[in-house]
Structure 1
Amino acid sequence: MTCPRCGREQPPGASGRFCVHCGRVLGGVRWVATTPDAARPRTPVARRRPYPGPPRYRGVPRWSLWPWAARPEPGSPDGPLAVREAREPEGALRAEAGLLRRLAVTTALLCGVAALGEVFRYVLLLLSRDRALPGPLLGWSDAIVGIFGWLAPAAALATGVVFLRWLVTARALAADASGTRPWRSTRLLLVGCVLPPFTLTVPGATLAEIEHAVAGHDPAARPQPSRPVLVWWGSWVVGVLLGLVTVVQGFWDSTQALADGVVLHFWTDVAAVLVAWTTIRVTAHLTELVAPVLRESGRSYVVAGDGAQRSSTTVAGDGAQRSSTPVAG
C-alpha cells in the first residue's frame, strides 16, 4: 500500500492504519461514528395501553385497613371479621338512611324551585288580565315549570324507592332485635305503601310499629306514635291527598280550571317539600333508635358460602359468642 502523502510504499509486514514513514492515515481506512447504544440489541417498545379505570368488584368490598398499632389478632374476638359482623346491620341501615337524606334534600330543593315557578306563572296570569305580556317572560315561565315539573317528580320517585328500602330494612332489624315478627309480609307492605287508599295508613303505621318494637313495649299493646312519626304521617296524608286532587283537576280544561291548577300545583310542591323535610327527621329519629339496640344485642348474620348454611349469631359486649342457631339458606 502506498502512502497518499509521502508516496512511499509500506513494508510488507506493516499492517497498521498509519504510514510507517510520515504517520498519515493510509487510504482505504474509513472511520464510522456510532452511538453508545448502537451495539445493544433493539427490543420492540410495548404500546402503552389506555387507562382502564379503577378496579371493579362484583360485590361491595368488605375489606379495610387497620392501623398497625391497633391491629388485633385474626382469631381474637375483636378481630376484623368480628367487628365487621357486629357492625354490618347497623352500617347498612345508616348507609340507607344517609342516601335517603341526600335524595330527600334534592327533592326538597327541586320542589321548592317548582313552587316558585308556579308563583311566577300565577303572577303572570294576574298581569295578563289587562295587558299583553312579553314573549321572554312567558318562555321563562314555561321553561321553569316544564323542567322542574319533570325533575321534581323524578327525584321524589327515587326518594320514595329508597325510603321503601330503608323501611323494609328497619322493620326487619327492629323485629329481630325485639324478638317479634311483623304481621304484614314484605309484599303487603310494599303494596300498601303505593296503592291508594292504603298508602294513607300503611307507611305511618309501619313507622309506629318500628318505634314500638325498638322501645321494648308490649307487642300486644297498641303503638303510640311519637311526635316525629305523627308529623310525618300528617304531612304524608296531606301530600297524597293534594296530589290526587291535582291529578283529577288536570282533566278539566276551562280557564278557571287552569288557574286553579296553578294554585294546586303550588300547594302540592309545598307539601312535597314538607314531606321531604319530615322524612329526613323521622328516618334519622328511627335510625338512632334501631342502631343502639342492634349494637347492644350484637346480633349479626354471616354467610359461610355458596350452598352452606346461614348462621344467626348473638355476640355479647365482650365479643364472646353466646348462641348460634343455624337457618337454612
Structure 2
Amino acid sequence: MVQPCARCGARWAVQGAPMHWCPRCRGVLLSPGKVDAPAAQRNYRWVARRPDHRTRKAAATTSAPLGPTPHYTQTPRWGLLDPPPAPARTRERPLRGIAAHRDRLLVGTTIVFLLAGLAEYGRYLILLQNRARLIPGWLLSISDATVLVFGVIAPIYALVTAVSLAAWLIEARTIVFTAYGRRDPRRRWSLIAGCLVPGVNLIWPGVFLTELLGADPDPRSWRAVRIWWAAWVFSGLLLIAATLWRDASTLQAEADGVSFTGFTNLCAAGFAILTLWMVRTLEGRDLRGDIRSAHRWVMAADPAQVVIAPVEPGAVAVREDAGHDEAERADAVRTGENTQEEVVAK
C-alpha cells in the first residue's frame, strides 16, 4: 500500500497510520492504494507534464517591474445613469376633470344668483316708484337687461354646477367603495339620472350621499347631509312656487312674483354656500377649505399629591402659630442655658 503525493508525484509506502503531508514537498498525500491497482480502482489519476514545468512555472511567476499608477488626466465623463423613477401614469377619467372645478363653480353660482336676486329686487323698487312717478327709460332698460342676463346665466350656471357635483359624487363613491374592497352597486347612469332629472332629484341625491357615508358615519358628516337634504327639498319647492307665481293675472300678484323671485334667487345663493359646506365637511375640511382639527376629550383626574394646602380657620392657624413661636422660644432658652453651662465649666 502506497500513498501518492498530489504535488510531486512521489509514492510513499504506508507504515502504520497513513500520513497527510508529503515529506519531500509538503504536498497533500492521497489515500492509500495498491501499487499495481488498475486505473478503474485508483482514487487518483496521473497527469502528463513537461519535464521543465517547474522552471517554466517559476519564470511565469516572476513579477514584472511596476509601472506608474494608473490615473485620469481629467474628470471622467462616463458613469452609470440612474434617473429617478417615472411617476405611475393613472388613467384619466373624464368625470375627474369636471369634478375638479366643483368649488369654483359653487362660488360662481353663489355670486350669479346673488346678482340675479339683487336685479329682481331692483326691478321691484322700480315698480314701487312707478306707482307715483314716471321712471326714466334708461333706468328701465338697465333693469330689463340685468334681469334678462342674470335670469339666463343663473340657471345655466346652476346646471353646470349640478353636473360637476354629480361627477364629484360618482368619483367620491368610487374611492370609498374601492377602499372597502367593493364595487359601487349603483350604475353610473343611475347616479347621473338621480341627480339631474327634475322631480326625482329631490330624493335620490340624499340617498346617494347617505350611502357614501357608510355604515358607521361621522356624526358631523351625517348632520351636514341631513341639513343639506332638507334645504335641497325646500329649494325645490321654492322653485316650483316661483314658477307657478309667474302665471299671475293681476298687477299686484305680478309685483309680488318679482319680489318672490328675488327671494328665491337669494335662497339659491345661500343653498350654493350650504352645498360647498356640506361637500367640504364630507372631505374632512371646513368651509374655508382648511383641514378640520380633531378635538379630543381627556378624562381629568385628581393629582397624586395635594398641591395646595387646605384652608384652615383663622383661630386654629393663630393658635398653631403661637404654639410654634413658644416652642422656638423654649428651644432658644434651653440652648442658651446649655451654652452658659459649657462656658462656666470651661
TM-score (structure 2 length as normaliser): 0.52
Percent identity, aligned pairs only, is: 35
Distance 1:227 1:141, change over 3 A: same
Q: Tell whether the 8 Å contact from 2:119 to 2:143 is kept in structure 1 after alignment.
A: yes
Higher RCO (C-alpha under 8 Å, 6+ residues apart): 1
| Separation (CA, whole Å) in 1 of partners of 2:209 and 2:147 | 34
Whether 2:162 is the aligned partner of 1:160: answer yes
Aligned length: 204
Task: Tell me which residue corresponds to 1:293.
Answer: none
C-alpha displacement at 1:264, in angstroms?
A: 2.1
Map 1:308-319 → 2, pairs under 5 A: none
C-alpha displacement at 1:210, in angstroms?
A: 0.8
Question: Where do 5+ consecutive residues of structure 2 fail to align?
Answer: 1-81, 286-346
C-alpha displacement at 1:141, in angstroms?
A: 1.2
Distance 1:177 1:140, change over 3 A: same
Task: Tell me which residue corresponds to 1:241.
Answer: 237
Q: Tell whether the 8 Å contact from 1:104 to 1:276 is kept in structure 2 after alignment.
A: yes
Q: Deviations over 1:268-295 (max 9, x none)?
A: 2112112211222222232349xxxxxx
Whether 2:254 is the aligned partner of 1:258: answer yes
Q: 2:87 aligns with which of 74, 80, 84?
A: 80
Task: Tell me which residue corresponds to 1:229.
Answer: 225
Q: Tell whether the 8 Å contact from 2:221 to 2:281 is kept in structure 1 after alignment.
A: no
Task: Tell me which residue corresponds to 1:135.
Answer: 137
- Structure number, greater radius of gyration: 2
| Separation (CA, whole Å) in 2 of partners of 1:206 and 1:193 | 9
Q: Residue 101 of structure 2 aligns to a residue in which SS?
A: helix
Distance 1:230 1:162, change over 3 A: same
Task: Tell me which residue corresponds to 1:121.
Answer: 123
Q: Tell whether the 8 Å contact from 1:112 to 1:273 is kept in structure 2 after alignment.
A: yes
Q: Deviations over 1:66-113 (max 9, x none)?
A: xxxxx9743xxxx522xx55xx799x86x6554011011111111101
C-alpha displacement at 1:235, in angstroms?
A: 2.2
Distance 1:97 1:196, change over 3 A: closer
Distance 1:199 1:160, change over 3 A: same
Distance 1:89 1:278, change over 3 A: farther
Q: Deviations over 1:46-84 (max 9, x none)?
A: xxxxxxxxxxxxxxxxxxxxxxxxx9743xxxx522xx5
Q: Tell whether the 8 Å contact from 1:242 to 1:267 is kept in structure 2 after alignment.
A: no
| Separation (CA, whole Å) in 2 of partners of 1:143 and 1:197 | 31
Cα RMSD of the aligned pairs, angstroms, is 3.0
| Separation (CA, whole Å) in 2 of partners of 1:97 and 1:185 | 18
Task: Tell me which residue corresponds to 1:19.
Answer: none
| Separation (CA, whole Å) in 1 of partners of 2:194 and 2:205 | 8
C-alpha displacement at 1:187, in angstroms?
A: 2.4
Map 1:83-122 → 2, pairs under 5 A: 96-122=98-124
Q: Residue 131 of structure 1 aligns to a residue in which SS?
A: coil
- Structure 1 letter corresponding to 2:271: V
- Structure 2 letter corresponding to 1:161: V
Map 1:142-221 → 2, pairs under 5 A: 142-212=144-214
TM-score (structure 1 length as normaliser): 0.55
Q: Tell whether the 8 Å contact from 1:114 to 1:269 is kept in structure 2 after alignment.
A: yes
Q: Deviations over 1:130-158 (max 9, x none)?
A: 22222222112111111111111111111
Q: Tell whether the 8 Å contact from 1:171 to 1:210 is kept in structure 2 after alignment.
A: yes
| Separation (CA, whole Å) in 2 of partners of 1:103 and 1:134 | 36
C-alpha displacement at 1:116, in angstroms?
A: 0.6
Q: Deviations over 1:209-265 (max 9, x none)?
A: 11226x579xxxxx9962322232222212211111212222334313311221221
Q: Tell whether the 8 Å contact from 1:168 to 1:186 is kept in structure 2 after alignment.
A: yes
Distance 1:194 1:216, change over 3 A: closer
| Separation (CA, whole Å) in 1 of partners of 2:207 and 2:252 | 38
C-alpha displacement at 1:181, in angstroms?
A: 4.4
